[in-house]
Amino acid sequence: MEEPKHIRDLRDLIGNDVLLLRCQNGSKRPVGKWKHLTATIMNDRPYLAMLGKGNIGVALGPVSNGLCSLDIDTEQGLADFANLNQEICQTLFTRGSRGGNYWWRLKGTYPKLTPMKVDGVGWGEWRSNGAQTIIYGTHPLGMPYQIIKRLSPRVIEFNQIKWPTNLQPFSQQELSVTESPERTERTELSELTQETEGTDGDRSGMVVPLLSNAPTTLMEVLAFSKTTGLHTSHAQIFTLARGIKALEALRSSPFSDDELMDAFKQWFAAAKSAGHLRPGISFDEYRFEFMEGYENARHALGIKIVDLAWTKSATATTPAAANIYQDNDLRRLVTLCRELASLQQGKPFFISCRSIQALFGHSEHVRGARWLRGLVRDKILEVVEPGGNQTMRATRYRYKKPL
């Protein structure tokens, strides 16, 4: 039973002492339980063959001889970090849909899996034991995971890393490897948080501000979607499509065919001038790819769907189903759920009791939980997928009344 070539290439790059995990195609979720596995299973030919059938994650921390990754959410965050850490950033660097992961081999002590924030807003995540990071396959948003810097992970000590001044430092108590619950890769803030909406807040018990970093002009969209290398055009053309969706949401009207063509032409000209277009792919083929991304993009760039639905609910007509309630805030919640369902085109949506706490200014999240249970009991909502600590996600609901 042959070891797939891409598996061999990955092992040559990151080491034979690393535990690779099979994940579902187009997903960050491993297939089956993996906490009990060790790198010795990488000697098992059937296991290696199985790895070739989907996305591939890398188990981090002691199980992979100290291999860890730092996930940074934004291009600006990456630039700031790289400026502070030019030497240690000469290491393996990978990217999903935006931002990216630096990979190192850690010697000595280092923190466990830790979400990181700047001024209360998600900045990234330190990933070590109990976590895994996808390194190969297809991102849930449709673009391939890319190896941007094909370098072996650099060996460093954790105290070599320099952090931005407004990033909360790790305490001394955190600088040790301790066992942590099995956990898959974090739902990324600018991508799937439009669905899972603030799971960091749900985990920690703290209310995460529902902030948006959406672009407001075509110039900003083009800056967000600017290519950075020969193999970045696929991901960045999808970013362009999502950026236009954000502008459409801002002005409450779709782009015309002429506007879409103009935006694409500007992106294409910049990528061509930089020498970042893939050989043999024509203008028309790139435009086809852009239009497919535009038609399939579920979420606008930088916009949290709860933010957008909340804004729309302020001026929207209150649904007839809400008239059974005397409390105006409960009526607003029904309107919010209707807007969430509308933005999801009638499909199920996520909302958490802590988001309700933040939006309505409640002193505790249990009130929001009680409200949501009441809407389920009154058959305005139905639970499609329960949330909680097992899934690390908010509950998914379906709005049962007419949109």
Q: Which domains does the chain have, with CATH numbers?
A: 5-185 (3.30.2250), 218-296 (no CATH), 305-399 (1.10.10)
For residue 29, give the DSSP letter.
Answer: S
Average pLDDT over residues 200-219: 44
- pLDDT reported for residue 358: 78
pLDDT digit string (tens) for 32-60? 888 788 888 888 888 888 888 889 999 99
Structure-derived torsion over alpha carbons of residues 99, 113, 140, 393, reported in degrees to the nearest 10: -120
Structure tokens at 13: 């790059």
d(CA 37, CA 32): 11
Sort strands 100-107 and 154-157 into parallel, antiparallel or unpaired: parallel
pLDDT digit string (tens) for 248-261? 876 778 899 999 99
Of 82-96, 159-173, 227-241, which gets the smallest average pLDDT? 159-173
3-class DSSP assignment, residue 104: strand
Average pLDDT over residues 21-34: 86
Of 207 and 277, more confident: 277
Of the candidates 46, 7, 388, the one whose C-alpha atom is nearest the C-alpha of residue 196 is: 388
- pLDDT reported for residue 279: 86
Average pLDDT over residues 234-254: 83
Confidence of residue 182 (pLDDT cuts 50, 70, 90): very low
On the question of pLDDT at 201 being above 50, the answer is no
**Contact, 37 vs 50, CB < 8 A?**
no
Q: Where are the alpha helices (DSSP H) in 252-298?
A: 257-273, 283-296
Average pLDDT over residues 383-398: 75
Q: Where are the alpha helices (DSSP H) in 274-386?
A: 283-296, 305-313, 328-343, 353-360, 366-377
Confidence of residue 4 (pLDDT cuts 50, 70, 90): confident
Of the candidates 324, 310, 306, the one whose C-alpha atom is nearest the C-alpha of residue 380 is: 324
Across the chain, what does the average pLDDT equal? 81
- pLDDT reported for residue 190: 28
Confidence of residue 390 (pLDDT cuts 50, 70, 90): low
How far is residue 390 CA from its own chain's centroid? 18
pLDDT digit string (tens) for 261-277? 999 999 999 999 999 99
3-class DSSP assignment, residue 87: coil
pTM of the shown model: 0.48
Average pLDDT over residues 385-396: 68
On the question of pLDDT at 136 being above 50, the answer is yes
- pLDDT reported for residue 174: 46
User: 345: alpha, beta or left, given left = phi > 0 and alpha = psi -120 to 50?
Assistant: left
Average pLDDT over residues 134-161: 91
Max mean pLDDT among 70-74, 164-168, 293-297 falls in 70-74
Max mean pLDDT among 21-25, 225-229, 319-323, 352-356 falls in 319-323
Of 196-205, 261-270, 327-336, which gets the smallest average pLDDT? 196-205
Burial of 369 (0-12, 13-18, 19+ CB in 10 A): middle
On the question of pLDDT at 348 being above 80, the answer is yes
**Contact, 307 vs 212, CB < 8 A?**
yes
**Contact, 319 vs 338, CB < 8 A?**
yes
Of the candidates 116, 101, 103, 104, the one whose C-alpha atom is nearest the C-alpha of residue 169 is: 116
Structure tokens at 70: 């730092």
3-class DSSP assignment, residue 234: helix
User: 94: alpha, beta or left, given left = phi > 0 and alpha = psi -120 to 50?
Assistant: beta
d(CA 287, CA 318): 40
- pLDDT reported for residue 399: 96
Confidence of residue 301 (pLDDT cuts 50, 70, 90): low
Which amino acid, 110? Y
- pLDDT reported for residue 216: 72
